[in-house]
Structure formats: C-alpha cells, structure tokens
C-alpha cells in the first residue's frame, strides 16, 4: 500500500526562503508518507504580474532552492516528493514541477496547458508528461489545469501510471470533482 501526503501551503509571494522553511516543517509532519505532493508554484506563490516577474523568480531545474528542498526532503524522510516551482531556462520560464526520489533521481515536468493569464507569464512547454518508477509506485505528473484535457491523464495511464501527482492551485469550482472523473477514466 502507498501512503500519499498532500501538503497545503500558503506561500508569501516571492519569499522563497521563508516558504521553503514552512514547507520543510510541514513535510516533517507528514514524514510517514511514501509520496508527498506540494502545490503548483508552492515555493514562491502563484500571482506573477508578467513574464519578467516570473523569470526574475525562476529557478534552475538542476540546482535551484526548490529542487534542492525536494531532494533534501526525499533523502531525509525516505519518500518521493513532488513540488511545483517556476523553472527558468535561459530567457524562458516555465510553470514546472520536480519529482525527487530518496536515491537522488529527479524528473522535471513543464505544465502543458497554461491557464488564463498564465499564458502571459510563462512560456509554452512541449515536453511529454512523464511517468516515473519510484519506491511509491509508477507516478505520472501533471500540473493543475492539465486536468481539463482528458488526453493527458489518458497518456499517463497508457504509459503505466498507477498514481497521478498533480501539483495544483485550483481556481475553478469543478476541478476537484473533475479529478475524480480523470481517475475513474
Ligand atoms: C490553474 O491551472 N492553476 C488553474
């Protein structure tokens, strides 16, 4: 059996170090989980005004502070961690999430379906949604509004996902119920 922890956070916009400390404390309370999922853009907040501001707060997928925390928590608590963060890559910035396993493996996913004004803040991604073999099972990744498009969950299922980890910042009233539908499908 896999125990999944969902960590709800209330980030202070742009205060990454403070937010990461809060996430570290919350994770310690859920350390019995096998898989721990944090929200979309958990470490810095969601409401960027434009692309320049998102880029200013963007972090490297290889050694940024949020990815470092994912690895730290995965190793410290022997669990798999998924965290949403703004990923900067050159002059691009993506609404991304990182999955880290206890043995130091990392997979990155960039949100494919940008919601509403996210299209002004983030660059469009073209990566396929990944399915990752982890000690918690085969985990597929999507981010928030990706739920709206059944094809994405279907691709994850066809590629062997047993669990879909979905860092989210849900704003539409039907999202929570829709994810039940995606799971049943
Ligand atoms: C959303 O994709 N954050 C609604």
Q: Please identify which of the residues 40, 59, 87, 118 carries the catalytic annotation.
A: 40
DSSP string, the chain: ---EEE----PPTT-HHHHHHHHHHHHHHTTT-SEEE--TTTTT-S--SSHHHHHHT-B-TTT-HHHHHHHHHHHHHTSEEEEEEEEEETTEEEEEEEEE-TTS-EEEEE-SS--TTHHHHSPPP-PPPPEEEETTEEEEE--GGGGG-HHHHHHHHHTT-SEEE------STTHHHHHHHHHH-
pLDDT for the residue numbered 84: 98
- HSE at residue 42, side-chain half, CA atoms within 13 A, is 32
97 is catalytic: no
Q: In what order do the strands lie in the sheet with 131-134?
A: 131-134, 137-141, 163-165
Distance from the Cα of residue 131 to its chain's centroid: 13
144 is catalytic: yes
- Summarize pLDDT for 96-139 with one digit per residue, the tens: 999 999 999 999 999 999 999 999 999 999 999 999 999 999 99
Tokens (6 digits) for 133? 């073999």
Q: In what order do the strands lie in the sheet with 92-100?
A: 4-6, 35-37, 80-89, 92-100, 106-110
174 is catalytic: no
115 in ligand 1 pocket by Cβ < 6 Å? yes
- Phi and psi torsions of 60, nearest 5°: -70, 140
**How many CB atoms are located within 10 Å of the residue 113 CB?**
18
pLDDT for the residue numbered 185: 86
Q: Please identify which of the residues 87, 97, 111, 118 carries the catalytic annotation.
A: 111
Q: What is the pLDDT along the chain (185 residues), one digit of tens a residue?
A: 999 999 999 999 999 999 999 999 999 999 999 999 999 999 999 999 999 999 999 999 999 999 999 999 999 999 999 999 999 999 999 999 999 999 999 999 999 999 999 999 999 999 999 999 999 999 999 999 999 999 999 999 999 999 999 999 988 888 888 989 998 88
pLDDT for the residue numbered 176: 85
What spacing in Å lies between the alpha carbon of 55 and ligand 1's midpoint? Answer: 18
Tokens (6 digits) for 112? 């494919």
pLDDT for the residue numbered 175: 87
């Amino acid at each position: 059996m896999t125990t999944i922890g969902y960590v709800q956070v209330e980030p202070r916009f742009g205060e990454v170090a403070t937010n990461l400390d809060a996430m570290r404390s919350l994770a310690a309370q859920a350390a019995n989980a096998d898989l721990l999922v944090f929200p979309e853009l958990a470490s810095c907040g969601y409401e960027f005004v434009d692309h320049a501001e998102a880029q200013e707060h963007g972090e490297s997928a290889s050694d940024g502070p949020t990815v470092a925390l994912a690895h730290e928590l995965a190793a410290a608590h022997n669990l798999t961690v998924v965290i949403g963060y703004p990923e900067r890559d050159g002059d691009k910035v993506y609404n991304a999430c990182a999955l880290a396993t206890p043995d130091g493996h990392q997979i990155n996913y960039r949100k494919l379906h940008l919601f509403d004004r996210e299209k002004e803040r983030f660059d469009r991604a073209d990566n396929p949604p990944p399915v990752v073999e982890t000690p918690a099972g085969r985990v597929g990744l999507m981010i928030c509004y990706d739920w709206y498009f059944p094809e994405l969950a279907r691709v994850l299922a066809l590629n062997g996902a047993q669990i879909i980890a979905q860092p989210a910042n849900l704003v539409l009233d039907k999202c929570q119920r829709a994810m039940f539908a995606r799971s049943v499908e």
